Structure 1
Amino acid sequence: MTVGTQMQQAIAGIQSAAATMKTFELETQDKSAKKDFHQIATNLDEALQILQGRQNFIQQEEPQYKQC
């Protein structure tokens, strides 16, 4: 498995987790839980941006890792 493939899998996993937290936030009535889910989703979105930037860097520096 290439670094590019591993990075794409990590990104997909974080996207899925963030979407799940956003769904939980919308579905719960508990204000404390809603706040927690929102914060977790925000943290995951920030991590996602960092990983996507890293993926772009890898693709520019190492074209063989670019996803087809």
Structure 2
Amino acid sequence: MTVGTKMQQTIASAESVMANLKSFALDTVDPQAKQMYNQLAQTMENTVMTLKARLNYIQQQEPQYRQQ
């Protein structure tokens, strides 16, 4: 498995976690829990953006990792 493939899988997993956290925030009525889930979702969104930027950099530097 290449670094590019691993990065893509990691990004997909992080996006899934982010979606779950957003769903939990919508499903709960507890204001503290809602705030916690929203903050965690925002952290995951920042993580996804960072990972995507890194993947883009890797693909520019190493053409073999570009998605076909």
TM-score by length of 1: 0.98
> Following TM superposition, where does structure 1 have runs of at least 4 consecutive aligned residues deviating by more than 4 angstroms?
none
Which residue in 1 is equivalent to 2:10?
10
Query: Structure 2: how far apart are the matches of 1:67 and 1:4?
Result: 8
Q: What is the letter of the counterpart of residue 46 of structure 1? A: N
Once the two structures are superposed, residues 7-48 of structure 1 have per-residue CA deviations (whole angstroms, 9 ceiling, x without a partner) of 000000000000000000001000000000000000000000
Matches within 5 A, 1:50-61: 50-61=50-61
The percentage of aligned residue pairs carrying the same residue is: 47
Once the two structures are superposed, residues 35-66 of structure 1 have per-residue CA deviations (whole angstroms, 9 ceiling, x without a partner) of 00000000000000000000000000001011
* Cα RMSD after superposing both structures: 0.4
**Size of the alignment, in residue pairs?**
68
TM-score by length of 2: 0.98
